[in-house]
């Protein structure tokens, strides 16, 4: 379970370039980690491109962005190159981190229910605690949600 004010679950994941990213790397900055179901699908592409197009503004607000899905490093590499994603997309094929962040569970599409990755996002503070959580976020609501949260909480 993700709880506001609690330490963010630790992780060690690889990006398409073979670099390893850990929770400890995020210390001292605000970090948005968003979890998405699948590379190169319409909603996930819209979300990634929205984050890409707003990354400069997010960074000016002091936020770094990471995407996480269960897709392979190879799939992420194609996805990141195809859409010029300027932030790391991390591969979690065993869903260890996805589970730890509560981003796996029952989903519904076209009326049928199935288990899968739930599109969600967390904002981690400079002290590595969870400061905001959007458990079921729509692809194009991610950037506005982060923007609104920062406007409300950074005085």
- pLDDT above 70: percentage of residues in the chain: 99
Q: Considering only CA atoms, which of 134, 126, 137 is closest in space to residue 37? A: 137
Using alpha carbons only, how large is the chain's radius of gyration in Å?
14
Sign of the Cα torsion 70, 148, 59, 55 reads positive
Q: Considering only CA atoms, which of 130, 124, 133 is closest in space to residue 6? A: 130
Q: Which domains does the chain have, with CATH numbers?
A: 12-16+29-149 (3.40.30.10)
Would you state the torsion angle of the CA atoms of residues 124, 48, 70, 8, taken in this order, to the nearest 10 degrees?
Answer: 0
Query: What is the model's pLDDT at position 107?
Result: 85
If you average pLDDT over residues 85-112, what whole number do you get? Answer: 93
Active site residue: 8, 33, 44, 58, which one? 44
**Residue partners of 63: CB distance under 8 A and separation at least 6:** 29, 30, 31, 32, 123, 146, 150
Residue 110 banded pLDDT, cuts 50, 70, 90: confident
Reported as a single tens digit per residue, the pLDDT across 139-155 is: 999 999 999 999 999 75
Q: What are the DSSP calls for 18-83, one per residue?
A: S-EEEGGGGTTSEEEEEE-S-TTSHHHHHHHHHHHHTHHHHHHTTEEEEEEESS-HHHHHHHHHHT
Query: What is the model's pLDDT at position 1?
Result: 74
Is residue 49 annotated as a catalytic residue, yes or no? no
Length of the chain: 155
Regarding pTM above 0.85, the answer is yes
């Amino acid at each position: 379970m993700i709880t506001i004010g609690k330490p963010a679950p630790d992780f060690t994941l690889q990006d398409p370039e073979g670099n390893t990213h850990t929770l400890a790397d995020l210390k001292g900055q605000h970090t948005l980690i968003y979890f998405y179901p699948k590379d190169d699908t319409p909603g996930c592409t819209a979300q990634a491109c929205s984050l890409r197009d707003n990354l400069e503004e997010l960074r000016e607000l002091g936020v770094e962005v990471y995407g996480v899905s269960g897709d392979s490093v190879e799939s992420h590499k194609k996805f990141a190159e195809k859409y010029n994603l300027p932030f790391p997309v991390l591969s979690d094929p065993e869903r260890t981190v996805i589970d730890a962040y509560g981003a796996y569970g029952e989903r519904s599409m076209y009326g049928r229910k199935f288990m899968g990755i739930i599109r969600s996002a967390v904002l981690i503070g400079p002290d590595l605690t969870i400061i905001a959580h959007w458990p079921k976020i729509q692809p194009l609501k991610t950037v506005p949600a982060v923007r609104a949260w920062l406007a409300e909480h950074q005085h």
